[in-house]
Structure 1
Amino acid sequence: MRRLLPLLALLLFAAACTAVPPAPDGRPPSSRTPDGTPATRWQPRPGLAWQWQLSGRLDPSVDVPVYDIDGFDHPAATVADLHRRGRKVVCYVSTGAWEDFRPDAARFPESVLGKGNGWPGERWLDIRRTDLLEPLMAARLDMCRTKGFDAVEPDNMDGYTNPTGFPLTAADQLRYNRLIARLAHDRGLSVALKNDLDQIPQLVADFDFAINEQCAEYDECDRLTPFVKAGKAVFHVEYELAPSAFCPRSRELGLSSMRKRYDLGAWRRAC
């Protein structure tokens, strides 16, 4: 046995000399593809604390492991700074509604623009027209990947339950949501199912985590249990309820809950 030790030492030394250094984001080289993108997706687990800030000057100092920020509004340098602070970063983009204030707004043909969704400058999209929408959404997710985000929050993913101006069906929504999930995964990004509670049983396997608004206010939080049982985080906010009214149940269910204001600025009250 002792005769093998010099050979073993030589092999270990050679391996150390040829080892590839870690990537700038801290991922080991073995988890990256030849073009430098992550080969394995981040999987947020139940109970992770998070910050969701989509307006105002970004406050990067909140001591939580996950930040969810607007993908268009922030440059790669912001994402890199959050990574240096030990955060995973989620890219917010709207995939089910058109926004007239986005730099790519003119690329959307009028034929896919429906009724307003209640927010200024926003209109529902005809998600049946994947021939037109897929390249537009792929470009948005390319932006998220290029800026270094770890995951994506695709918003307005439940148009079929709203008056969009189009005869959308549950099957249309399932098809479109799975398309968005595939586009994200193709780019090494984790992807959240935003709201769309009715379709969780069919979609939990396609998405890496969930983001929910106001499930406690509407007594719906139990419906998110399939994600938690699958070992996938549920990031949850309430706007109207005090934390004392929803935090005990959120803890029981394994949700990552906090109270936010409707403007989704820096202010938060976590459970």
Structure 2
Amino acid sequence: MRGNPRTYLGVAAAVCAAALLAWVTARTHPPARTHAPGKTGAVSPPPVHAGFDYQIGGPYTPPAGVRVVIRDHQASPAAGLYNVCYVNAFQAQSEAEKEWDADLLLRDSAGKVVYDDQWGEALLDLRTDAGRRRVAMKVNAWIDECAAKGFNAVEPDNYDSYTRSRGLLDAADAQAFITLLSGRAHADGLAIAQKNTAELAGSRRKNGLDFAVTEECGRYDECGTYADAFGDHVLDIEYSGDGMARACSRWGRRLSIVRRDLAVSPAGSGGHLRRTC
């Protein structure tokens, strides 16, 4: 071989340095676990028919008998319990709308942002694969944080936002997006919930969803739809006395059911309400 010996030595040194860097990176940043959507063997859904509390309005000491708790992703999990991490995945929290790129907010033909009328939250634009992936980058970062904190599962809220999009989004958009989130959750070792959206419960395996978190399935007579799809892996929150009575009378021996005040206020604050079957 002809050439400058210093060149050969430099190349050899560079190769060695690259190999060392690769070894250090592998030790300090191991590859993420992979888990195909629809296969739930590597993750565990919440225990069935368990004491349950919904604490997304603010964390507090879980009452006696509670085994499953849902808290916002900014909170810490409750020690010794099964913890579900809440993220608002399909809409922008009203106080955090400016944290999203303007072109990721769903807009109508006049260029006006489309809002959820009940909560005043901007819907996220999930109409294209590129847009869905950009939104998923932010939401998946929250999912990673949930895993790092020690949560067991994640609850992406507003799966049904397409029904409030004035026809701009459809069920296919929602399902394409949720599969991006379920893939990341499973790679992080987290189970992932379907939130409400009874009409898509039958597609839960295709979309990689492990259990259901429902609001008022008793009031709207939807608990059976979720139980058919998810078995007894259903966490139900009721906000009215009538809904609670219906849920408990029919499903109280199978599902995890709690009644909360609509604002899900922390214990000790005004308006806090929590009841069980």
Q: TM-score range by the shorter chain?
A: 0.7 to 0.9
Q: Which residue of 1 aligns with 2:204?
A: 203
The Cα RMSD (Å) is 2.6
Cα deviation, 1:204-235, whole Å, max 9, x if unaligned, reads: 45211100011121222211122443xx5100
Closer/same/farther in 2, CA of residues 227 and 268 from structure 1, 3 Å limit: farther
Contact 1:44 1:208 in 2 (8 A): no
Report how far residue 118 of structure 1 moved: 3.1
Closer/same/farther in 2, CA of residues 111 and 133 from structure 1, 3 Å limit: same
Q: Does 1:87 align with 2:81?
A: yes
| 5+ residue gaps, structure 2 | 1-28, 36-41, 107-113, 268-272
Calculate percent identity across the aligned residue pairs: 30
The one-letter amino acid paired with 1:110 is A
Report how far residue 57 of structure 1 moved: 5.3
Report how far residue 195 of structure 1 moved: 0.4
**Partner Cα separation in structure 2 for residue 64 and residue 227 of structure 1:** 25
The one-letter amino acid paired with 1:127 is L
Q: Which residue of 1 aligns with 2:239?
A: 239
Q: Please, which moves more after superposition, 91-100 or 232-241?
A: 232-241
Q: Which residue of 1 aligns with 2:249?
A: 248
Normalised to the residue count of structure 1, the TM-score between the two structures is 0.74
Number of residue equivalences: 225
Q: Which SS does the other structure have where 2:95 is aligned?
A: coil
Q: Which residue of 1 aligns with 2:53?
A: 51
Which among 145, 158, 161 is matched to residue 159 of structure 1?
161
Report how far residue 42 of structure 1 moved: 2.4
Closer/same/farther in 2, CA of residues 227 and 201 from structure 1, 3 Å limit: closer
**Partner Cα separation in structure 2 for residue 56 and residue 142 of structure 1:** 21
Contact 2:219 2:246 in 1 (8 A): no
Contact 1:94 1:154 in 2 (8 A): yes
Contact 2:87 2:154 in 1 (8 A): yes
**Partner Cα separation in structure 2 for residue 172 and residue 42 of structure 1:** 27
Q: Which has the larger radius of gyration?
A: 2
Q: Which residue of 2 aligns with 1:269?
A: 275
Equivalent residue runs for 1:1-271 within 5 Å: 40-56=42-58, 58-72=60-74, 74=75, 78-79=76-77, 82-83=78-79, 86-102=80-96, 105-114=97-106, 115-120=114-119, 122-128=121-127, 129-162=131-164, 164=165, 167-204=168-205, 206-229=208-231, 233-242=233-242, 243-251=244-252, 254-265=254-265, 266=267, 267-271=273-277
The one-letter amino acid paired with 1:257 is I
Report how far residue 191 of structure 1 moved: 0.6
**Partner Cα separation in structure 1 for residue 72 and residue 149 of structure 2:** 12
Closer/same/farther in 2, CA of residues 268 and 43 from structure 1, 3 Å limit: same
